[in-house]
Each structure stands twice: as C-alpha cells, then as structure tokens.
Amino acid sequence: FNCFFIQTNKYSNGVAILFYYFVELADSMLPGRTAALCWVFQVTVIVQTGN
C-alpha cells in the first residue's frame, strides 16, 4: 500500500494512521481492493485540505 506512505509525508495524523491499519486489515481479507481504497483516500485528502 505504497501510496499511504507518500501521503503521510504531507499529512501525518491519527486519521491517516487508522486508515492505514484499516487498509492493511482489508487487504488481508479482500486482496486486490487496496488500489481503489488508496485512490479514495487520496481524493479525500485532497478535498479536505484544499491541496
């Protein structure tokens, strides 16, 4: 889940950390779905921060 580490360089907060653990858990149950979750997370971060 490489995109998470890219985001944490700019947005290091509890929500991102919790999201990381959620995705790690989801990845173990739903292989192949993390790419979509990563995209949603990146869009959410962009919308919330205005960056």
Q: Residue 16 and residue 31: Cα distance in Å, rounded? A: 20
pLDDT at residue 43, as a whole number:
72
The beta strand positions in 1-51, using DSSP E, are none
How do the domains of the chain map onto residue ranges?
2-49
pLDDT in tens, 1-51: 455 555 555 555 667 667 777 777 777 776 666 667 777 777 777 676 664
Whether the full predicted model's pTM is greater than 0.75, yes or no, is no
Sign of CA dihedral 21, 2, 30, 19: positive
